Amino acid sequence: MDMLLQVLVIGLLLGGIYGLVSIGLNLIFGVIRIVNFAQGELVMLGMYGAYLAYATMGLDPYIATLIVMPALFVLGVIVYRLVLQPLASESSMQIFATFALLLIFQNVVLAITRGEGYSVSSKLAGVTFGIGDIRVTMSRLAILIAVTLTAIALHFFLKRTMIGKSIRAVTQDRQAARLMGINVERTFMITFGIGSALAGLAGALLSPIYTMSPGIGGNFILAAFAVVVLGGLGSVAGAYFGGIIVGLVEALAGFYVDPELKQAIWFLIFLAVLIMRPTGLFGQVGAEEVGFREQA
């Protein structure tokens, strides 16, 4: 029983990580429908941003989010405006372009750092505490707290603000949204910026946990896509609970089935959901019907 509890706690904390890296992608994939291969690289840039703030100004990675998030928002807006918006009518070319961005981001960091692994430390992150036999580090708990707060904040942002409402309108029906006077291009640009900023937040918060390498984004991107589709496109609750479900499944499968097969198991669950309920657990029915052409 104690063992099960421990596995559940591990799964929950892991789910927090998956949820955090997915929440930005969910906005981008769910609203703009771009298969953004470079999303993991945006998380990676967030990590290195936190390192830069730590190395130059001695900032704690948790405080560095205040710099990293706006920086990535600006980067996201620039990337969308210069690269992705011109390709709006060519969805498969957009995939191609995000792959090119992945190559560029990853290798620019590689060229600058020459592949040296970096890590940052935070006084706060090192704290551990235990409930019974279960030990939890602050760095992982902070992520679970952050993803919960982010999900709540994003939910209210989408429900209450004008920008949030226009993002939802564009997700549901681009043409109708345009007829209602919503600037679709600008909404997409802001959405991509927010999605990038959230990737930056994830990167900064993950920086005390991982040793950084330019290719680290690849560890998150597939999990993030799985979470997004599992949870439901454009649904904040979907990314949040989808992340936690994937984390729990991975922890349980790793413990009870075989650690080597844990990833295969959640991918199979992901495929099953995709096939039986393509909308995802929390998504709007019909969202997946929009193909490459129709959305342009």
Partner 1 sequence: MNELATDVSVRAPPVAASAGGIASSRRVATRFALGLALALAPFLVLGGDFFWLNILTYTYLFAGLAIAWNILAGFGGQFSLGHGVFFAVGAYTTADLFIRFGLSPWFGILPGAIVSAIVGPLIFLPTFRLKGSFFAIATLAFNEVALVFANYLESITGGPRGLQVPFRAGLANMIFADARGYAILMFAFMAVALGVSVLLMRSRLGYYLLAVREDEDAARAAGISVVGVKLRATALSAALTAVGGGLFAMYVRAIDPPTLFSLADIGVKFALISLIGGIGTISGPVLGAFLIVPLESWLRALVGGTTPGLHLILLGLVMLLAALFMRRGVAGAIDALVQRWHHRHRTGQ
Q: 89: which 2 tokens?
A: 């009518």
Phi and psi at residue 137, to the nearest 5°: -90, 150
Quick one: 93 or 127, whose CB is closer to partner 1? 93
The correct pick among 5, 57, 74, 103 for binding partner 1 (CB under 8 A) is 103
Answer whether 71's CB lies under 8 Å from 61's CB: no
Could you tell me the smallest distance in angstroms from the CB atom of residue 49 to partner 1?
A: 19
Region from 70-78, 80-88, 129-137, 160-168 binding partner 1, contact rule CB under 8 A: 80-88
The two three-digit tokens of residue 242, written as one number? 């989808």
Between CA 139 and CA 142 the distance in angstroms is 5
The window from 87-95, 129-137, 147-155, 198-206 that contacts partner 1 (CB under 8 A) reads: 87-95
Question: Within 10 Å of residue 86's Cβ, how many Cβ atoms?
Answer: 13
The residues pairing with 136 across neighbouring beta strands, listed in sequence order, are 129
Two tokens, residue 171: 């997700």
The nearest distance, CB 115 to partner 1, in angstroms, is: 6
Which range in 4-12, 44-52, 110-118, 203-211 contacts partner 1 by CB under 8 A? 110-118
Both structure tokens of 260: 């080597």
User: Which amino acid belongs to residue 69?
Assistant: M
SS3 208: coil
Report if residue 180 touches partner 1, rule: CB under 8 A.
Answer: no
For partner 1, give the closer residue by CB, 53 or 233. 233
User: Measured between alpha carbons, how far is 260 from 169 in angstroms, rounded to an integer?
Assistant: 42
Q: How far is the CB of 251 from partner 1 (least distance, A)?
A: 16
Is 181 among the residues that bind partner 1 (CB under 8 A)?
Answer: no
Q: What is the DSSP letter of 259?
A: G
Question: What's the min distance (Å) between Cβ of 184 and partner 1?
Answer: 8
Taking contact as CB under 8 A, which single stretch among the options 7-15, 43-51, 123-131, 282-290 is the one that binds partner 1? 282-290
**174 touching partner 1, by CB under 8 A:** yes
SS3 label, residue 63: helix
What's the first-to-final CA gap in the chain, in angstroms?
52
| Distance from C-alpha of 189 to C-alpha of 78, rounded to nearest angstrom | 8
Closest distance to partner 1 from the beta carbon of 236 (Å): 19
Report how many residues bind partner 1 under the rule CB under 8 A: 60
Q: Are 164 and 158 in contact (CB under 8 A)?
A: yes
The residue within the footprint of partner 1, chosen from 118, 157, 255, 267 (CB under 8 A), is 267
We find the least distance from the C-beta atom of residue 178 to partner 1, in angstroms, to be: 6
SS3 call for 212: strand
Residue numbers 196-235 binding partner 1 by CB under 8 A? 214, 222, 225-226, 229
Q: Which is nearer to partner 1, 76 or 214 (CB)?
A: 214
Stretch that binds partner 1, among 63-71, 157-165, 245-253, 285-293 (CB under 8 A): 285-293
217: Cβ contacts below 8 Å, ≥ 6 apart: 38, 39, 40, 41, 42, 43, 44, 102, 105, 106
Residue 293 in contact with partner 1, rule: CB under 8 A: yes
Binding track, positions 14-43, relative to partner 1; x by CB under 8 A: ---------------x---xxx-x------
Q: Looking at 53-61, 101-109, 152-160, 248-256, which segment touches partner 1 (CB under 8 A)?
A: 101-109
